[in-house]
Amino acid sequence: VGVTGGTSRVQFPETFMFGVSTSAYQVEGGWDTDDKSPSIWDVSVHKDPCWIANCSSGDVADDSYHLYERDVAMLAELGVDFYRFSISWPRVLPEGPGRIGARSAAGFAYYRRLIAQLKQRGIQPFVTLYHWDLPQYLQDLGGWTNPLIVDWFTDYARVVFEELGDDVKFWITINEPWTFCWFGYGLSTLAPRVNSSAVGTYLCAKHVVLAHAKVYRMYNEEFKQKQNGVVGMSNCLFWYEPATDSKNDSEAVNDILEFEGGLYINPIYSKSGDFPQVVKERVAKKSAEQGYSKSRLPELTPDEIVYVRGAYDFLGVNHYSTFVAYRNASANYSTNILYGTAKGPSYLDDITTALTLNPEWPKASVAPTTTYNPTGFYKLLAYLKKKYDNPPIIVTENGWPTAPGLNDEDRVKYLRGYLEALHRAVEDGSDVRGYTAWSLMDNFEWTNAYNQRFGLYEVDFESARRERTPRKSAFVYREVVRARAVDPGYEPPADATMEC
């Protein structure tokens, strides 16, 4: 499709926005500072420390709760248009559901200081309400599997809009429901580690789409007129290439796209609404065969379908990598290199797609299933344009993991290649409005802790001050943002510094 992989110069429209992203648990630290109560990540990590690489935790992480001024200085150095960060729910509402007056003054003061500093530097705050750090007091009541989460999340969002909304124009309700509904409620891979592969994921999915829609509608009714922001959801969307041109393999690709992204996107962003047809049929059929009294996928009522449909201003796309998908007589559907392993009836078994890698795609040294294939990003954006009638898209995450070290040539190559692919999609009419690099700096990479570094800035986790140092990719990205262009010939001068 003509994505050369970062070897040609491409110019973005003047209005195209560039930013960088982090999330609360991954950078803030201060896990019990002031009146913050524990999140499901605090509890899971403390209960079973060696579930995490090197038995590490996010107790301190980048210590951004104390070092945010340095973060803002780095953002100014990069010259980005916006900073995507998330609010820690248990930091701002530490006391449990429905408790009047439970807003944390210290918690909100932190985000208010951060936002004020961003504004001073002309950087837009781009705020995620939920990036996986549920208050433990809600998990004690079932978390995302309890239908009451729809109201809990709406009440939380209202408080945040009231407290911070006058200064925020971009909101993401929920980050990557696929990731936490599967790995958190289907497997024990991520917090809260509820191992319910057959039903947990689907209960979570239903409540995620309802919670998102309720917050979207509440914002429009109660805040939009005064605050005038936009609201979307960010989805984790890999790309899948069929192993062969057989009908089976192309169906395998279609189905995994519908089960991964479609489960969350179709109800909100499609014309028809509701969960994807193939997901409804497959789960109903398998559930019947497996002796369930009804489908393991809960239904959305006709009223819910209408309520959820169209509840968006933009689609957030988090994209990292491409896999190869297939379906044949010898394939094993109960385990794969991206989704892990599940026994018996499960969301994974429902998908009926096996995965492998194309050996021609370069692999990340620290993450052997993360591959470099910018053409996959181009195809994903073309697919979304066609399937969901060209929604406004903001790429809310894209990045490449490395080992420590400042000379991150492979990240530079990834950045250029993926931006070229994005540009090509825009040329072809995709309505992509912005791009967000994951991440501003190295941070707590979930179960991989500090072994997978995604930062434009390296962080020294041995130093008390968590010293941050720009990598080569930081200088390259700064030039991209300045020129609104990718220039593959650009080399930062050897003595380049970040003074701005």
Which residues are tagged catalytic? Answer: 176, 397
Q: Which stretch binds ligand GBH (CB under 6 A): 42-50, 115-123, 173-181, 216-224?
A: 173-181
Cβ 249 to ligand GBH shortest distance, Å: 23
Cβ 399 to ligand GBH shortest distance, Å: 7
Using CA atoms of 224, 227, 228, 231 in order, give the dihedral in degrees to the nearest 10: -70
Q: Which stretch binds ligand GBH (CB under 6 A): 71-79, 171-179, 265-273, 477-485?
A: 171-179
Nearer to ligand GBH, 425 or 441 (CB): 441
Answer yes or no whether residue 340 interacts with ligand GBH by CB under 6 A: yes
Q: At what angle are helices 105-120 and 64-78 packed, to 10 degrees?
A: 20
| Of positions 136, 175, 188, 398, contacts ligand GBH by CB under 6 A | 175
Nearer to ligand GBH, 10 or 456 (CB): 456
Q: Which stretch binds ligand GBH (CB under 6 A): 101-109, 175-183, 259-267, 477-485?
A: 175-183
Q: Which stretch binds ligand GBH (CB under 6 A): 39-47, 174-182, 200-208, 384-392?
A: 174-182
The residue count for binding ligand GBH (CB under 6 A) is 16
Answer yes or no whether residue 335 interacts with ligand GBH by CB under 6 A: no
Binding mask 85-124 for ligand GBH (x = CB under 6 A): ----------------------------------------
Q: Which stretch binds ligand GBH (CB under 6 A): 53-61, 163-171, 172-180, 413-421?
A: 172-180
| Of positions 4, 8, 146, 179, contacts ligand GBH by CB under 6 A | 179
Cβ 415 to ligand GBH shortest distance, Å: 15
The footprint of ligand GBH on residues 202-241 (CB under 6 A) is: 236
Answer yes or no whether residue 126 interacts with ligand GBH by CB under 6 A: no
| Of positions 3, 12, 17, 23, contacts ligand GBH by CB under 6 A | 23
Answer yes or no whether residue 318 interacts with ligand GBH by CB under 6 A: yes
Neighbours of 224 (CB within 10 A): 17
Answer yes or no whether residue 362 interacts with ligand GBH by CB under 6 A: no
d(CA 266, CA 255) in angstroms, rounded, equals: 13
d(CA 387, CA 383) in angstroms, rounded, equals: 6
| Of positions 85, 152, 170, 438, contacts ligand GBH by CB under 6 A | 438
| Of positions 146, 447, 451, 469, contacts ligand GBH by CB under 6 A | 447
Cβ 284 to ligand GBH shortest distance, Å: 27
Nearer to ligand GBH, 131 or 286 (CB): 131
Nearer to ligand GBH, 87 or 236 (CB): 236
The footprint of ligand GBH on residues 460-499 (CB under 6 A) is: none
Which residues contact ligand GBH by CB under 6 A? 23, 26, 175-176, 179, 183, 189, 236, 318, 320, 340, 397, 438, 445, 447, 454
